[in-house]
């Protein structure tokens, strides 16, 4: 028991050090890119630090393994940047950050990870921690083909002794920073009782009532909760006439989300709509931020480069963006098309690990799949989420109707929210109608924006600070009750994921075979999932070529 206590305290301290380090990088990057450094709070600065850490990870992986020495240097440099006295962080903001970390820490204690964690999240991030990049990794594992910068961020948390047991940390950091931003919005806007206050309250409730299981996050959820912040930021720009810096900041957040999952690209429509309504041309001299544009370009260049290095595609699985058999290490075009069909069938409830319809290509055409999807996915998953969103909106409506003022730019905001959510929902429904593949976000936006039509235009003069605090406390209680119940159930499981390694998650040891070239191990082969097998790992042996000290796997 005492050992567990000290392990938990050690993990908590490491988590908080990574939080401060991320904020440190955010402070440094903010001072480079923005003239008005006061434009961002500590949570927004933390997310900007995430952007900068992705660039660091993308860049250094070409030259070094993200081993413990590399990562200690990255961590300590961020802490140094945090404690630089160039710009002092308010103590109340630091206290709020610590408070959020404490009351959400149960979220980070898990035994079972996401289903894809042993399949490719863990082995790919571990490969980045043990090796610099290799070409053609997509030939080793279907999962390696799906680029996500979250896995690059995971690799930066590999440390001595604790090893890979912090590989979930980036998702947790994003949850903490997003919660800080939403709570800060609530207390800045409760006197104004405006739409920023209302949306922050609803989104805070949704995130901390629905997305309480770290094992559900994978590489899909973090981008969706960042986009909730982006939506509030764009609305804030519209109603408060914020400077162009906030638009540039939101584009940094959009790029983070896109690097997690490329299907978030559709939400760039928000930036275009806001700029259109503000009648701002960001390319004009008085608006153009050259430094931000340079970092956008660098980020996208690294994003495309890593996609291409793994698969031979600029954006996988868009076969039109792939070079096919042109190089010996790239994916065959027919293989890309087959994978794309499988993914679409999976999202449309036509395939699973233990089931598939007979003719996948016929199944995904038109609306052939809709009835099966409705029976086997909509009922029970989408319907449950709809009920949660409706319930949260009803509770907020009956608690705050006639207490908020939604007048300013309400029609413009409604148009932007509805147009964006309908377009996103349409693309989502016809291409990848699984909630984890971007479905939570447009459903939340659309239902919430429709609810806003029913709020009374009459705003009674009253102080809603107390009821806001009560609301926050109740959400925190629900969040922790769900996680305490979940932790208890993980101790009582009867399978391989029973919490036998508390407070660390389960990792299954696998037997494996070493493949050698010139008496040097170059690959490890095991049956099924690789888990934490030495890397590069696969269940299929591959030959390699070594060119200029880089490994290229052969098709």
Kind and range of the H or E run holding 524: strand 520-525
Give, in order, the Cα–Cα distances in Å from 548 to each of 209, 301, 304, 545, 551: 51, 22, 21, 10, 9
Query: What is the separation of C-alpha 400 from the centre of its chain, rounded to a whole number of angstroms?
Result: 30
Are 142 and 552 spatial neighbours (Cβ–Cβ below 8 Å)?
A: no
Residue 325 CA to residue 331 CA, distance in Å, equals: 7
Mean pLDDT on 86-98: 84
Contact indicator for 35, 57 with CB cutoff of 8 Å: no
Average pLDDT over residues 331-345: 91
The residue-averaged pLDDT of 222-231 equals: 95
Nearest 5°: phi and psi at 284?
-70, 150
C-beta contacts of 305-313 below 8 A and 24+ residues apart: 305/58, 306/58, 306/61, 306/133, 306/147, 306/152, 307/147, 309/133, 309/135, 309/136, 309/137, 310/136, 310/137, 310/138, 310/144, 310/145, 310/147, 311/138, 311/145, 311/336, 312/136, 312/138
Conformational region of residue 281, where left means phi above 0, alpha means psi within -120 to 50, and beta covers everything else? beta
Angle at 447 between CA 445 and CA 449, to 5 degrees: 65
Residue 512 has pLDDT above 80, yes or no: yes
CA angle 545–131–533, rounded 5-degree value: 95
pLDDT at 459: 62
Which residues, in sequence order, are bridge partners of residue 552? 135, 545
b/e code 530-553 from CB counts within 10 Å (16+ = b):
bbbbbbbbbeeebebeeeeeebbb
Q: pLDDT digit string (tens) for 389-410?
A: 999 999 998 888 877 777 767 7
Each residue's pLDDT tens digit, 239-256? 876 678 888 999 999 999
pLDDT band at 416 (very low <50, low <70, confident <90, very high): confident
* Structural contact between residues 303 and 256, judged by C-beta atoms closer than 8 angstroms: no
Check residues 404 and 451 and name the one with the higher pLDDT: 451
User: CA torsion sign, 16 to 21 to 22 to 26?
Assistant: positive
Please report which helix (H) or strand (E) contains residue 535, including its range: none
Query: What pLDDT score was predicted for residue 86?
Result: 66
C-alpha dihedral sign at 526, 531, 532, 534: positive
Instruction: Please tell me the predicted confidence (pLDDT) of residue 241.
Output: 66
Phi, psi of 505 (to 5 degrees): -75, 165
User: For residue 280, what are its two tokens?
Assistant: 């701002």
Asked whether the predicted pLDDT for residue 134 surpasses 70, the reply is yes
Given this model, what pLDDT does residue 114 score? 93
Within 212-267, residue ranges assigned H as helices are: 221-240, 244-260
pLDDT score of 403: 73
Cβ neighbours of 59 (radius 10 Å): 12
Q: What is the per-residue pLDDT for 334?
A: 92
* Peptide bond connecting 34 to the previous residue in cis, omega within 30 degrees of 0: no
**pTM for this model (two decimals):** 0.95
């Amino acid at each position: 028991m005492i050992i567990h206590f000290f392990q938990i305290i050690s993990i908590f301290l490491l988590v908080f050090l990574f939080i401060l380090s991320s904020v440190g990088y955010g402070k440094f990057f903010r001072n480079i890119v923005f003239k008005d450094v006061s434009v961002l709070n500590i949570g927004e600065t933390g997310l900007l630090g995430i952007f900068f850490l992705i660039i660091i990870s993308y860049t250094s992986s070409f030259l070094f393994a993200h081993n413990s020495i590399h990562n200690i240097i990255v961590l300590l440099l961020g802490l140094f940047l945090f404690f630089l006295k160039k710009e002092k962080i308010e103590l109340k903001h630091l206290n709020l950050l610590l408070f959020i970390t404490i009351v959400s820490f149960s979220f980070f204690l898990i035994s079972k990870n996401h289903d894809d964690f042993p399949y490719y999240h863990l082995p790919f991030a571990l490969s980045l921690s043990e090796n610099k990049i290799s070409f053609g990794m997509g030939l080793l594992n279907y999962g390696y083909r799906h680029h996500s910068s979250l896995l690059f961020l995971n690799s930066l948390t590999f440390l001595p002794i604790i090893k890979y047991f912090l590989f979930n940390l980036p998702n947790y950091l994003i949850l903490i920073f997003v919660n800080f931003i939403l709570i800060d919005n609530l207390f800045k806007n409760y006197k104004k009782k405006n739409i920023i206050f209302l949306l922050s309250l609803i989104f805070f409730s949704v995130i901390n009532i629905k997305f309480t299981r770290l094992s559900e996050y994978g590489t899909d959820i973090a981008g969706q909760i960042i986009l909730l912040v982006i939506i509030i930021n764009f609305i804030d720009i519209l109603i408060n006439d914020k400077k162009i810096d906030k638009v540039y900041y939101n584009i940094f957040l959009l790029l983070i989300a896109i690097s997690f999952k490329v299907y978030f690209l559709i939400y760039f429509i928000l930036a275009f709509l806001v700029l259109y309504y503000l009648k701002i041309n960001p390319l004009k001299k008085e608006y153009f931020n050259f430094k931000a544009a340079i970092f956008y370009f660098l980020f996208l260049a690294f994003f495309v480069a890593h996609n291409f290095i793994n698969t031979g595609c600029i954006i996988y699985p868009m076969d039109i963006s792939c070079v096919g058999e042109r190089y010996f290490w790239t994916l065959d075009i027919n293989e890309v098309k087959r994978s794309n069909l499988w993914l679409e069938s999976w999202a449309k409830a036509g395939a699973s690990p233990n089931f598939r319809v007979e003719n996948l290509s016929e199944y995904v055409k038109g609306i052939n799949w809709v009835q099966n999807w409705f029976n086997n996915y909509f009922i029970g998953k989408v319907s449950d989420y709809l009920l949660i969103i409706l319930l949260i909106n009803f509770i907020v409506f009956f608690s705050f109707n006639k207490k908020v003022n939604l007048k300013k730019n309400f029609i413009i905001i409604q148009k932007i929210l509805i147009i964006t959510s309908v377009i996103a929902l349409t693309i989502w429904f016809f291409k990848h109608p699984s909630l984890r593949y971007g479905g939570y976000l447009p459903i939340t936006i659309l239902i919430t924006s429709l609810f806003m039509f029913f709020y009374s235009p009459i705003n009674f003069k009253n102080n809603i600070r107390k009821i806001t605090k009560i609301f926050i406390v109740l959400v925190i209680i629900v969040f922790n009750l769900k996680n305490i119940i979940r932790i208890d159930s993980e101790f009582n499981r009867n399978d391989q994921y029973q919490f036998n390694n508390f407070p660390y998650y389960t990792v299954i040891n696998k037997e494996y075979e070493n493949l050698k070239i010139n008496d040097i191990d170059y690959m490890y082969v095991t049956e099924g999932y690789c888990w934490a097998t030495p890397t590069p790992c696969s269940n299929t042996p591959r030959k390699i070529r070594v060119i200029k000290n880089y490994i290229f796997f052969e098709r």
